[in-house]
Amino acid sequence: MAMQKWDYEDKVAHAEDRCWSFYKKMGGKVFVSVGGLDSATLTLFLWKYIDPDIPAVSVSSLEHKSIQQMHRQLAEMGPFEYLMPEKSKVEVIKEFGYPVISKGKAMVIEMWQNPTKRNLKTRLQSLNSDGGSHKFKLNKKEQSLFVTHNSPFKVSNKCCYYMKEKPCDRYAKHTGRAVIMGLMASEGGQREKALMKHGCNFYGKTVTRSCPFAIFSRQDILRLALDMKTPVPAIYGEIKHQPDGTLETTKAKRTGCTMCGFGIHMEKRPHRFDRLREESPKEWHFWMYTMGWGKVLNYIGVAWENRPEQQGRLITYI
């Protein structure tokens, strides 16, 4: 927490030091996992200050079209490899369920939908305000929707595992390389807990990884993106100074898979599915109606069928 308060220049110097330390420890056998703006900035940072031959790896097919375009730009600047997801978006939803609320809570909800003696303790902790991890606790409304009553659809957090994590793990095992990621503790949630517990560079029995930007804030990463001249995907808009002097993207703040529902209940309209409707009506129709995302959003109380301008205020499930 103290390091997160450092000046920007000190954080950048620290990130370079952590990268060099990990790079040397792994004998140069590293790769960078690329998704959105943060990891693209990390890629350019590594190519400039560590080694221009570090391969960038991405499951690009999952990303927004403008992010895929950015990946093609990066591929013209340095070594870039495309991976295929272990399962498709459709297969994950049909087999395991929809990603809603948050990763931690989706995991617990899946346990309630598939109760066993082994997961009994975690399930009970999710109802107890005095025990268990905060990321697993279900509030009263969530308990009513997914515990007291049986939801008409399955819930799961396995999407990222099969579509992103497993392909990268397979690549790491096949090449003998260790991953460098652009995660930041300031993003909160499970990432914050893991980074604060294990630090920037972690060498475990089953997991070896580096997160040199762990102590960065959003302001730091946006400033570095400008310094690195990172191509900014259209979905983010532009990085511009606000009246108070801070930096912000003019459109999306964060991006993810087009069928991801984590955190959707907290977004103001136009939310991610509204934006998808404007950008790709056919894809929006497929996810909302053919794949049933509409009934999921209805169940948790997120408006979607009417356009944002037709509604005065967002109705949320909490």
Sequential DSSP letters for 100-165: EE-HHHHHHHHHHHS--STTHHHHHHTT-TTSS-GGG---HHHHIIIIIS--SS-B-S-HHIIIII
**DSSP code at position 170:** H
Which segments within the chain are labelled E, that is strand?
A: 30-33, 56-58, 80-82, 100-101, 178-180, 201-203, 208-210, 239-241, 247-249, 261-262
Looking at 108, 125, 148, the residue that finishes a domain is 148
28 within domain boundaries: yes
Residue-level pLDDT at 64: 85
Residue 243 lies in a domain: no
- Which helix (H) or strand (E) element contains residue 228? helix 218-228
Percentage, residues of the chain above pLDDT 90: 79
Residue 317 covered by a domain? no
Q: What is the DSSP secondary structure assignment for residue 98, as one 8-state letter?
A: B
Do 204 and 69 belong together in one domain? yes
CA distance linking residue 127 with residue 111, whole number of Å = 13
Residues 22 and 112 in one domain: no
Is there a contact between 25 and 177 (Cβ–Cβ < 8 Å)? no
* Judgement on whether residues 80 and 186 belong to the same structural domain of the protein: yes
Same domain, 20 and 114: no
Q: Collapsing DSSP states into helix, strand and coil, what is residue 64?
A: coil
46 — pLDDT class (breaks 50, 70, 90): very high
Instruction: Give tens-digit pLDDT for 244-295.
Output: 999 999 988 877 777 899 999 998 898 989 989 998 999 999 999 999 999 9
| Residues 155, 296: Cα–Cα separation, whole Å | 10
Residue 95 vs residues 13, 68, 157: alpha-carbon distances, Å: 45, 26, 12
Average pLDDT in the chain: 92
Give a yes or no: residue 257 inside a domain: no
Taking CA 142 as the corner, what is the angle to CA 137 and CA 143, rounded to the nearest 5 degrees? 80
Each residue of 195-221: pLDDT tens digit? Answer: 888 899 999 998 999 999 999 999 999
**What's the angle, vertex CA 164, arms to CA 158 and CA 169, rounded to 5?**
105
Residue 307: pLDDT band by 50, 70, 90 thresholds? confident
**Average pLDDT of 294-313?**
86
Question: In this predicted structure, what is the pLDDT of residue 255?
Answer: 78
What tokens does 96 get? Answer: 């395991």
pLDDT of residue 194: 84
Burial 29-56 (b: 16+ CB within 10 A, else e): ebbbbbbbbbbbbbbbbbbeebeeebbb
Same domain, 122 and 269: no
Q: Which helix (H) or strand (E) holds 14?
A: helix 8-25
Residue 218: other Cβ atoms inside 10 A: 17
Same domain, 304 and 220: no
Distance CA 8, CA 217 (A): 9
Residues 194, 134 share a domain: no
User: What is the structure's pLDDT at 134?
Assistant: 64
Confidence of residue 318 (pLDDT cuts 50, 70, 90): very low
Is residue 226 in some structural domain? Answer: yes
Do 105 and 135 have their domain in common? Answer: yes
| CATH number where 12 lies | 3.40.50.620
317 or 18, higher pLDDT? 18
Q: Is position 206 within any domain?
A: yes
Q: Is 150 exposed, middle or buried (0-12, 13-18, 19+ CB in 10 A)?
A: exposed
214 and 73 both lie in a single domain = yes
- pTM for the full predicted model: 0.87
Residue type, position 188, single letter: G
On whether residue 246 sits in a domain, the answer given is no
178 and 198 in a single domain? The answer is yes
Which domain-ending residue is among 200, 221, 236? 236
Same domain for 180 and 71? yes
Residue 105 covered by a domain: yes
The per-residue pLDDT for 129 is 60
**168 and 82 in one domain?**
yes
Axis crossing angle, helix 8-25 with helix 218-228, rounded to the nearest 10: 80
- In angstroms, the CA 132 to CA 159 distance is 24
How many folded domains does the chain comprise? 3
- Structural domain harbouring 268: 263-310
Q: When comparing pLDDT for 32 and 252, which is higher?
A: 32
pLDDT of residue 178: 98
For 129-152, write each residue's pLDDT tens digit: 654 456 789 999 999 999 999 999
Candidate from 104-108, 181-185, 187-191, 242-246 with smallest mean pLDDT: 187-191
Whole-angstrom Cα distance, residue 298 to residue 264? 12
